[in-house]
Amino acid sequence: MSAFKALAKNSLKSKSIIVLDNVETIFEDQDLMNELSDILILLDDAIYANFNVKFLIVGVPYEVFKYFSSAKNTTSVGNRIEELPRVSGLGPLQVLDLVERGFSKYLKIRLTKDQIKEISNYTYNVTFGVPQRVHEYCESLAYEIKDNKWEYSFHLHEKAETFWLLKGLRESYAVIDGHLNSNETSEGRRNQVIYAIGKSENDKITTEEISKIVSKEFPLSSPSSNSGIGQVLAHLTKGDTPLLYKMNHSKSYIVGDARYIMCIRIMLKKDDMTEVVMKKGFKLN
């Protein structure tokens, strides 16, 4: 209680917020989880409520879902937690503005309007519009342009992708690689489904959504029903490093990390003629 009193005193009776970042790191520690649950339950106690202290829990979405299923007094804790809306990423026009200012105005790289649009579209596609990833990818591309005597060419994206992947997406690559079917054939349903996950615009997906994407992307070999797709999605929730997590009391799945989608978009390519999903190889060591 002394900590609450100190916060209330320093905040001059305005609301105090305690931010718990990376909370998923303690989810496997039952003692800490129990302690956190007890603290959250106390927030509704009249004595503690008078201090006007709130907790902001920050964590990876799927790990937060795990929290609700593993916490002591799950219902009591759940009633005291309100999920905040997700902070939206950059939109296509915002990425376009960033590319134009960063590459043309600040770095003075000679680019046509079409090239600026090409860079921004490519960047938005591989980064999901996540601000940090947009900056990281643009930095990687800028270095490649510099090494090319400050001349931009579309083929530099492949080099930038490799550098960006090795810099920040190694673990994501390993997780996805572990779930791929080793056979690169048009009947590699699992590879098709993972490719379709990369085409999704959301990290929450359903069998119906992925089935529609598979039918669109693989018209010659897509299944006649959703059953096969559902089985693959369920399989992707298995193992020590699952790609997906099944949401409780829902038909939806959630992608374990938004970086998985970014990595899928880089490492998996489709042959439009044969509909074979091919993996781009990288040396991670």
- Work out the pLDDT band at 142, boundaries 50, 70, 90: very high
- Let me know if residue 284 belongs to a domain: no
- Whether 144 contacts 103, CB under 8 Å: no
Quick check: helix, strand or coil at residue 86?
coil
Q: Which of 78, 102, 137 is the last residue of a domain?
A: 78
Give the least confident one: 34-43, 235-244, 270-279: 34-43
Q: pLDDT tens digits, residue range 82-121?
A: 766 666 678 999 999 999 999 999 999 999 999 999 999 9
Which CATH number characterizes residue 183's domain? 1.10.10.10
Same domain, 163 and 179: no
- What's this model's pTM, rounded to 2 decimal places? 0.66
Q: pLDDT tens digits, residue range 249-278?
A: 678 898 888 788 888 988 898 988 888 888
Q: pLDDT tens digits, residue range 193-215?
A: 999 999 988 778 899 999 999 99
Find the helix or strand (DSSP H, E) in which 64 lies: helix 61-70
Same domain, 252 and 182: yes
Q: Which residue range(s) make up the domain with 52?
A: 2-78
Same domain, 232 and 206: yes
Q: Which of 147, 168, 189 is the last residue of a domain?
A: 168
- Let me know if residue 86 belongs to a domain: no
What pLDDT is stored for residue 225 in this prediction? 65
Same domain, 163 and 198: no
Same domain, 261 and 176: yes
Q: Which of 146, 168, 190 is the last residue of a domain?
A: 168
CB under 8 Å to 240, separation ≥6 — which residues? none
Domain count, the chain: 3
Same domain, 179 and 219: yes
What pLDDT is stored for residue 78 in this prediction? 59
- Whether 266 contacts 280, CB under 8 Å: yes
Same domain, 216 and 268: yes
Same domain, 57 and 108: no
- Let me know if residue 146 belongs to a domain: yes
Mean pLDDT of the chain: 83
Same domain, 177 and 272: yes
Q: pLDDT tens digits, residue range 146-187?
A: 999 999 999 999 899 888 887 778 888 888 989 988 665 445
Same domain, 201 and 259: yes
Would you say residue 140 has pLDDT above 90?
A: yes
Tokens linked to 153: 């060419």
- Work out the pLDDT band at 219, boundaries 50, 70, 90: confident
Query: What percent of the chain stands above pLDDT 70?
Result: 82
Q: Where are the beta strands (DSSP E) in the chain?
A: 16-20, 53-57, 204-205, 244-246, 253-255, 268-270, 277-279
- Let me know if residue 84 belongs to a domain: no
What pLDDT is stored for residue 187 in this prediction? 56
Would you say residue 72 has pLDDT above 60?
A: no
Would you say residue 35 has pLDDT above 80?
A: yes
Same domain, 132 and 187: no
Higher pLDDT, 277 or 28: 277
- Let me know if residue 263 belongs to a domain: yes
Report the pLDDT averaged over residues 212-223.
86
Would you say residue 231 has pLDDT above 80?
A: yes
Query: What percent of the chain stands above pLDDT 90?
Result: 31
Q: Which amino acid is at 281?
A: G
Check residue 103 and report its DSSP letter.
Answer: I
DSSP string, 211-267: HHHHHHH-TTT--SSSHHHHHHHHHTT-SSS-SEEEPTTSS-EEES-HHHHHHHHHH
- Let me know if residue 260 belongs to a domain: yes
